Structure 1
Amino acid sequence: MSLLRAKIQDVFNEPACEQNRGKDAKARKEGCSKPLTPGAAAGGCAFDGAKIVLQPITDVAHLVHGPLACEGNSWDNRGAASSGPTLWRTSFTTDLTELDVVMGRGERKLFKAILEIKEAYGPPAIFVYPTCVTALIGDDIEAVCKRAAEKYGLAVVPVNAPGFVGSKNLGNKLAGEALLEHVIGTLEPDDAGPYDINILGEFNLSGEFWLVKPLLDRLGIRVRACIPGDARYVDIACAHRARAAMVVCSTALINLARKMDERWDIPFFEGSFYGISATSEALRQISQLLVKKGADPEILGRTELLIAEEEAIAWKKLAAYRLRLEGKRVLLNTGGVKSWSVVHALMEIGIEIVGTSVKKSTVEDKERIKQILKNDNHMFEQMAPRQLYAMLSERKADILLSGGRTQFVALKAKTPWLDINQERQHAYAGYDGMVELVRQIDLAIHNPIWRQVREPAPWDCQPAVREERPRTRIETVTLHAVQEFSGTTAGDFGEC
């Protein structure tokens, strides 16, 4: 536990974070995340965050050492996609019970589970995740993994991020530390070249990195390792021979990028593949970093030719949607890199941004939003469902872009909604991804169902009473009962 505590303090002291550098020593030790209350995950615990970062490594067996529920709640937590191996889709857990805890059988059960996985699947590596229970009872995960690796002849990586140590974001960073300590640099590639790069913090959600990789291939740029999206263990182990790196989600893996720069002289920048301009700028910066590291400067010219060609194609496709969407108002309830990259992407085609959440955004993200929107009036740290519903029901936005948690708020407010978080079904990265995002927004806003659901319900729309004769006593009593039940008055009848 003392080693884990020291590692956590090291993660909190992140020199690459401008916000962290501005704090005093005491505030820096407290980290950026709010402390968790006992029994509350606060949007995800450290174990969940570590598993999010590492599970998309597709040919690795991910073994959770703890009760069955920990694996059940963390399985399939991202919509990442694989172009080959499917081992990462198989759940492995030691299924620790109360009797195992009392009898002290946790370490033996873990050792046996590692052997069973090796014999049944033969993976290149096994990642072991301790949980709150196994960390609290003192199971020595590091020692078990080391002994198993020596005896069975394969990489067994301890990912020391039990849930109680902090938030999901802290778990993201601890996963990066595990890769640095046990994986990256353990193998040497035999084909290292001047055009090798790493992409960090890209999860290949819905396969969207596959929309970007062909652009890099056309430039002769090879992705040595995409961490973690559609990654292979060997690629990550050889990632230290890349010449440059791009960080897509700095809040998750900025520590990994910074330490790889310090150890192996791999310069990095933070960019985004969401939006036409952002994608073009990312390609330019990748080429520029490679040239600084010794690549042929002619790649800069080829990059500009590729950008001009792809932008022309994308804008031609988007022209059909501009007239239908220009002036439409969008409310974003997301965070992180999407809080500014999606904003910039939508504004490029004339969509108005009425608000964007910055709950999970860094100081750098917030500064980018201010530069894009020219003010911070449309930024909100947190919006309660009641406030979100009020804003949507008053028609202050034409569509809500968010994750699945708030979709029912939008539906209750009879407002179109589109998923842009990790559960999404469509890929939005790159030039083609931007066209797809705009197409999905157009389909959602102009879906005829919204006109229908906003019309009065049939039971609120009674036909006018055409009879001239006086009502009988029974008819009068019945009419009053219907009015009282439906909350209408006599003047409401016949208005629909």
Structure 2
Amino acid sequence: MSLLRAKIQDVFNEPGCEKNRGKDAKARKVGCSKPLTPGAAAGGCAFDGAKIVLQPITDVAHLVHGPLACEGNSWDNRGAASSGPTLWRTSFTTDLTELDVVMGQGERKLFKAIREIKEGYGPPAIFVYPTCVTALIGDDIEAVCQRAAEKFGLAVVPVNAPGFVGSKNLGNKLAGEALLEHVIGTAEPDDPGPYDINILGEFNLSGEFWLVKPLLDRLGIRVRACIPGDARYFDIACAHRAQAAMMVCSTALINLARKMEQRWGIPFFEGSFYGITDTSEALRQISQLLVKKGADPEILGRTEALIAEEEAIAWKKLAAYRPRLDGKRVLLNTGGVKSWSVVRALMEIGIDIVGTSVKKSTVEDKERIKQILKDDNHIFEQMAPRELYAMLSERKADILLSGGRTQFIALKAKTPWLDINQERQHPYAGYDGMVELVRQIDIAIHNPIWGQVREPAPWDCQRAVREELPRTKSETVTLHAVQEFSGTTAADFGEC
């Protein structure tokens, strides 16, 4: 437990964060994360955050050491996609019971589970996740993993991030620490090259990184490791031989990017593949970093030629949507990199942003939003469901872009909604992804169902006519009387 405490303190002391960099040594150790209420998970516990970061590593067995519910609640928690192995979609858990806890069988059961996975599936590595229960009863996860690795001849990686230690974001960073300590640098590639890069914090949701990778391939740039989207264990083990890195989500893995730069001299920058302008800028910065590390400067010219070609194609496709979407109002209820990158992307085609949330955004993210929108009134830390419903029902926005948890607020307000978070079904990264995002917004806004659901219901029309009739002694009016009074037929009630 003391080792875990020291690791958490080290993660909070993050000089790579611009906000933290300006603090004194004592204040820096407090960290960037908001203080948590004891017992609250703050949108997800540390175990959940670690699982989010590591589970998309597709050829690894992910073993949860704890009660069955911990694995059930976290399995398949993101819509990441794999181009090959499917082992990551298989759930492994020690299924610890009350009897195991009382009898002290936790460590023995964990060792047995590792052996069964080795014999039944033969993965290159097994990641072991302790949970609140196993951490509290004192199971020595590191010792069991070390013994199993020696016994079975494969990598067994302890991911020491039990849920009670903090928030989901802290779990993200602890997962990065596990990769640094046990995985990265443990293997050497056969063919290192001057155009190798790492992509950090990219989850390949709905396969959207597959829209970006062909652009890098055309430039001769090889993705040595995409962490974690569609990753392989060996690729991550060799990630220390990359020449540069792009960090997509700084709140999750900035500690990984910074420490890889310190240990192996891999420079990094934070960028985004959402939107035409940001995609082009990301390609430029990747090429520039590679040139600084010794690559042939001719790649800069090839990058500009590729950008010009792809931008022309994308703008031509988007031209068809501009008349239909110009002046439409979008409300964003998301966070992180999407809180500013999607804003810029939508404004490029004439869509108005009436508001964007920054609940899960860093200070740097908020500064980018202010520079883009030029107005703090469109930025909100968080919006209560009642306020969100009021804004939508008053037609202050034409569509809501958010995660699945707020879709029902939009539906109740009879407002179009589009999933922009990890559960989405369509890829939105890169040039083609931007076109797809605009297409989906156009489909949602112009769907004829919204005009129909906003019309008064037939029974509401019927009630309105009844209220205009003179009262009878029995205080009741038959449908026949309603029709005679109003001069309508039953068929007319549907068109009230």
Common fold by TM > 0.5: yes
**Structure 1, residues 236-286: CA drift from partner, whole Å, max 9, x if none?**
000000000000000000000000000000000000000000000000000
Q: Bigger CA drift: 50-59 or 372-381? A: 372-381
Counterpart check, 1:360 vs 2:337: no
Deviation of residue 477 (structure 1)?
Answer: 6.3
Distance 1:209 1:301 in 2: 24
Quickly say closer, same or farther: Cα 1:385–1:143, change in 2 above 3 A.
Answer: same
Given that 1:63 and 1:128 are in contact with CA atoms closer than 8 Å, whether structure 2 keeps it comes out as yes
Identify the residue that residue 64 of structure 2 maps to in structure 1: 64
How much does 1:491 deviate? 21
Structure 1 residue 31: Cα displacement: 2.6
Task: Please state how far the C-alpha of 1:376 moved relative to its aligned partner.
Answer: 1.5
- The answer to which of 332-341 and 39-48 deviates more is 39-48
8 A contact 1:400–1:416 mirrored in 2:
yes
How many Å apart are 1:374 and its aligned residue? Answer: 1.1
TM-score by length of 1: 0.95
Deviation of 1:427 after TM superposition, in Å, equals 0.1
Query: Per the alignment, in what secondary structure is the counterpart of residue 321 of structure 2?
Result: helix
CA separation of 1:9 and 1:491: change in aligned 2, threshold 3 A: same
Distance 1:492 1:208 in 2: 49
Q: Aligned with 2:368: secondary structure?
A: helix
Partners of 2:14 and 2:31 within 8 A in 1: no
Q: CA deviation at 1:83?
A: 0.1
**1:106-132 superposed Cα distances (whole Å, 9 cap, x missing partner):** 000000000000000000000000000
State, as a whole percentage, how many aligned pairs show the same letter: 93
1:20 Cα deviation after fit: 1.3
Q: C-alpha separation between the residues in 2 aligned to 1:361 and 1:467? A: 52
Per-residue displacement from partner, 1:75-101 (whole Å, max 9, x unpaired)?
A: 010000000000000000000000100
CA shift in 2, pair 1:169/1:481, >3 Å: farther
The equivalent of 1:328 in structure 2 is 328
- Whether contact under 8 Å (2:398, 2:445) holds in the other structure is yes
Partner of 2:190: 190
d(CA) in 2 for partners of 1:205 and 1:274? 13
Deviation at 1:475? 6.5
Structure-2 change in CA distance of 1:470 and 1:209 (3 Å): closer
Is residue 247–residue 271 contact of structure 2 (8 Å, CA) maintained in 1?
Answer: yes
1:472: how far off? 5.6
| Cα distance, 1:21 vs structure 2 | 2.0
Return closer, same or farther for 1:151/1:324 CA change in 2, 3 Å cut-off. same
Q: Does the C-alpha gap of structure 1 residues 488 and 52 become closer, same or farther in structure 2, counting only changes over 3 Å?
A: farther
Q: Could you tell me how far apart the structure 2 residues matched to 1:379 and 1:65 are?
A: 41
| Alignment of structure 1 residues 307-456 onto 2, 5 Å | 307-456=307-456
8 Å contact from structure 1 (residues 169, 251) kept in 2: yes
Cα shift readout 1:365-395 (whole Å, capped 9, x = no counterpart): 1111011111221100010000000000110
Indicate how the Cα distance of structure 1 residues 487 and 362 shifts in structure 2: closer, same or farther if over 3 A, else same.
farther
Residues of 1 paired with 2:470 and 2:369: CA distance? 67
- Deviation of 1:482 after TM superposition, in Å, equals 11
Measured after TM superposition, the shift of residue 228 of structure 1 is 0.0
- Quick check: 412-421 or 12-21, which moved more? 12-21
Q: Secondary structure at the match of 2:407?
A: helix
The SS at the match of 1:126 is strand
CA distance in 1, matches of 2:251, 2:464: 61
Alpha carbons of 1:485 and 1:163: their partners in 2 closer, same or farther (altered >3 Å)? farther
Instruction: Flag the 1:473–1:258 CA change in 2: closer, same or farther, 3 A.
Output: same
Deviations 1:168-223 (A, max 9, x none): 00000000000000000000011000000000000000000000000000000000
Alpha-carbon distance between aligned partners in 2 of 1:362 and 1:448, rounded to the nearest angstrom = 38
- State the secondary structure of the residue aligned to 1:40: coil
Give the direction of change, closer, same or farther, for the CA distance of 1:58–1:471 in structure 2 (3 Å limit). Answer: closer
* Cα distance between partner residues in 1 of 2:23 and 2:485: 61
| Displacement of 1:41 | 1.8
* Cα distance change on mapping 1:480 and 1:254 into 2, 3 Å: farther
Q: What is the rounded CA distance, in whole Å, between the counterparts of 1:37 and 1:488 in structure 2?
A: 61
TM-score, normalized by length of structure 2?
0.95
Other-structure match for 2:91: 91
Question: How far apart are 1:462 and its partner, in Å?
Answer: 2.2
CA contact (8 A) 2:39 2:164 kept: no
Q: CA deviation at 1:38?
A: 4.2
Is 1:463–1:493's contact at 8 Å kept on the other side of the alignment?
no
How many residues are paired up?
496
CA apart distance, 1:488: 18
* 2:478 match: secondary structure: helix
What's 2:457 paired with?
Answer: 457
Cα displacement (A) at 1:485: 20
CA distance in 1, matches of 2:468, 2:380: 59
**Per the alignment, do residues 424 and 469 of structure 1 end up closer, same or farther by CA in structure 2, a change over 3 Å counting?**
closer
Q: Is this contact kept in 2: 1:464–1:493, CA < 8 A?
A: no
* Paired residues of 1:81 and 1:204 also in contact (CA < 8 A): yes
Deviations 1:338-361 (A, max 9, x none): 000000000000000000000111
Shift of 1:227: 0.1
CA distance in 2, matches of 1:145, 1:120: 18
The alpha-carbon deviation at position 18 of structure 1 amounts to 1.0
Please give the secondary structure, in 1, of the residue aligned with 2:428: coil
Q: Give the alignment's Cα RMSD to 1 decimal.
A: 3.4
- Conserved? CA contact 1:329–1:396, under 8 Å: yes
Alpha-carbon shift at residue 22 of structure 1 (Å)? 2.7
Displacement of 1:464: 8.9
**Closer, same or farther in 2 for the Cα pair 1:251/1:474, shift >3 Å?**
same
Change (3 A) 1:117 1:462: same
Point out the more displaced range, 456-465 or 131-140. Answer: 456-465
CA shift in 2, pair 1:422/1:490, >3 Å = closer
How many Å separate the matches in 1 of 2:405 and 2:11? 29
Q: Deviations over 1:273-324 (max 9, x none)?
A: 0000000000000000000000000000000000000000000000000000
User: Does the Cα contact within 8 Å between 2:457 and 2:494 map onto a contact in 1?
Assistant: no
**Is the contact made by 1:464 and 1:494 (CA closer than 8 Å) also made in structure 2?**
no
Unaligned ranges ≥5, structure 1: none
Q: Which residue of 1 aligns with 2:288?
A: 288
Cα distance between partner residues in 1 of 2:402 and 2:468: 55
CA distance in 1, matches of 2:189, 2:175: 23
CA spacing shift, 1:461–1:101, aligned 2, 3 Å: same
Cα distance in 2 for partners of 1:467, 1:382 equals 42
Following superposition, the deviation at residue 470 of structure 1 comes to 8.6
> 1:465 touches 1:494 (CA, 8 Å); kept in 2?
no
Cα contact 2:185–2:239 (8 A) shared by 1: yes
Structure 2, gaps ≥5 residues long: none
Q: 1:292 to 1:445 in 2, by over 3 A?
A: same
- Separation (CA, whole Å) in 2 of partners of 1:170 and 1:138: 21
Q: Against the structure 1 CA distance between its residues 165 and 324, is the aligned structure 2 distance closer, same or farther, given a 3 Å change threshold?
A: same
Rounded to whole Å, the distance in 2 between the matches of 1:126 and 1:42 is 28
Cα–Cα, structure 1 residues 469 and 70, in superposed 2: closer, same or farther, change >3 Å?
closer
